[in-house]
Amino acid sequence: MERVNRTIRAWRIAIERDPERIRSGLNRAFPLLLGGALAFTIGFGWPDAPATSRASSSDATTGPEASAEPIRPIPRQMDLDPQKVALGDRLFHDPQLSRNGEISCASCHDLQMGGTDRLPRSLGIDGQEGTINSPTVFNADFNFRQFWDGRAADLEEQIDGPMNNPLEMGFNWEDLMARLNADQKYMEQFLLVYGEDPTPARVRDAIAEFERSLFTPNARFDRYLRGDANALTPDEKSGYSLFKQYGCIACHQGTNVGGNMYQKFGVLGDYFADRDAQKTSQSRHRSSSQQGGDDAHRAAVAKADLGRFNVTGREEDRHKFKVPSLRNVELTPPYFHDGSAKTLQEAVRIMGRYQLGVTLPPRDVDQIVLFLKTLTGEYRGRSLQIEDARSGSTQNDAN
Ligand code: HEC
Ligand code: HEC
């Protein structure tokens, strides 16, 4: 235990000096932590990513209780430009941003569905299937990088991805500029916000500002962190204790309960070999017509499994992914970059097995899931949970 505490102290200091390198290096140090710390019940505060998040300074944030915990509450206010947010909102929901006018950002990041499409893999223009599960846009600004493999540094940079991806919006900036220039209302709005005509940089700026408005404060867990001991039930509190004791917290922590480091999927077992073995045995029972998808698409999906390796080409980055945020996670099934886990229970069991090398007893899984459900927050003053329950799985956007 002492050794573990010392290691953690050393990391904290090192992370402050060189966050990106240390976070990605945590994977190598992880077995050390695991060795002594499967039962660690400590509360240690990890510094958050130096993201551009603009927590409002007027937001009275953490009390003494909160600062001792490895998870931080989401700020209750952000300093944002309302006119940029309004313009970004319109762009985000506008299918004119895709080549054939069919697909908007919101098609795959539906704010009524936790900011995702609830599909294993997204569908882009002409109904084409993508290669990876769509993560939520809620709280994305609190992630230290964007995309599963972290290939975009920030929200502005991220936008070029879907814009140019032939399986997503299949479009380009030049033609989009022509479309916006032909639209009187957009021209007026850009003039109002920027005093100038639309440019790719201004489109990126407005959409990113809108995405920064997609923060979800006041989750019950955040109220607990801010000192309201009654915000959680005893079972939910036990779930949080288990989350720390088993060591989930080593990877899922900070403001986003994730989103601030890369980790291998399959630290203590070969997730990919087991998954593919299972798939092969299942597909033997199906007719060949059900096994859709051509070879090129299958290869692209297999490539997506390589994670950060696709960005760096380094062997040590094979199957490494940005640890996803667990904020609002109950709203965003199916789980994992491959959309393979249909329920939170299943995702938690797999995490126990492949990230921690333990078979979690069903009761512990249930309590951890109860804790995870307390991470559901509010968007524009309304609980995402209630919103969601009322509307079911409608295609409508929140606006
Ligand atoms: C066809 C579906 C689709 C469309 C359209 C789409 N996205 Fe995405 N989005 C995805 C998928 C899939 C990913 C994950 C890709 C990856 O990590 O390689 C993603 C990732 C992201 C992320 C990163 C989140 C994180 O945690 O890493 C953000 C932010 C985002 N999209 C915003 C947008 C915006 C803004 C638009 C419109 C300009 C947009 N998306 C259009 C499917 C889509
Ligand atoms: C060694 C780091 C590590 C540990 C420990 C860990 N996780 Fe994860 N977790 C990850 C990574 C990486 C992913 C993304 C895997 C993927 O999809 O490729 C993930 C994904 C998840 C997801 C799916 C999120 C989504 O939106 O798809 C859930 C839920 C989750 N973890 C919960 C837990 C729980 C509960 C524990 C403890 C029992 C835990 N994790 C332990 C690294 C970790």
Active site residue 168: yes
Distance between Cα 292 and ligand 1 center (Å): 24
Mean pLDDT lowest among 8-22, 133-147, 242-256, 348-362: 8-22
Alpha-carbon distances of 228 from 87, 179, 239, rounded to whole Å: 37, 51, 17
Question: Residue with the nearest Cα to atom 8 of ligand 2?
Answer: 351
Exactly one of 69, 156, 168, 209 is catalytic; name it: 168
What is residue 399's predicted lDDT score, i.e. its pLDDT?
37
Instruction: Report cis status (omega within 30 of 0) of the bond before 31.
Output: no
Does the pLDDT of residue 242 top 80, yes or no? yes
Q: Is the pTM of this model over 0.75?
A: yes
Question: Residue with the nearest Cα to atom 17 of ligand 1?
Answer: 147
Q: What is the pLDDT of residues 138-183, one digit of tens each?
A: 999 999 999 999 999 999 999 999 999 999 999 999 999 999 999 9
What is residue 289's predicted lDDT score, i.e. its pLDDT?
46
Mean pLDDT of 322-327: 98
Backbone angles phi, psi at 378, to 5 degrees: -115, 145
- Residue in 177, 193, 354, 340 with CA at minimum distance from that of residue 268: 354
Distance between Cα 46 and ligand 1 center (Å): 27
Distance between Cα 301 and ligand 1 center (Å): 16
What is residue 387's predicted lDDT score, i.e. its pLDDT?
53
Question: How high does pLDDT run on average in the chain?
Answer: 85
Angle at 206 between CA 157 and CA 325, to 5 degrees: 55
Q: What is the pLDDT of residues 75-104, one digit of tens each?
A: 999 999 999 999 999 999 999 999 999 999
Measured from the alpha carbon of residue 94, the closest ligand is: 1
* Distant-in-sequence, close-in-space partners of 339: CB < 8 Å, separation ≥ 6: 119, 120, 121, 133
Q: Cβ atoms within 10 A of the Cβ of 165, count?
A: 17
Q: What is the pLDDT of residues 337-375, one digit of tens each?
A: 999 999 999 999 999 999 999 999 999 999 999 999 999
What is residue 67's predicted lDDT score, i.e. its pLDDT?
61
Pocket of ligand 2 (CB under 6 A): 30, 246-248, 250-252, 263, 265, 267, 321, 323-324, 326, 329, 332, 335-337, 344, 347-348, 351-352, 355-356, 368
Question: Residue with the nearest Cα to atom 5 of ligand 2?
Answer: 248
Mean pLDDT of 192-218: 98
Domains along the sequence of the chain with CATH: 82-212 (1.10.760.10)
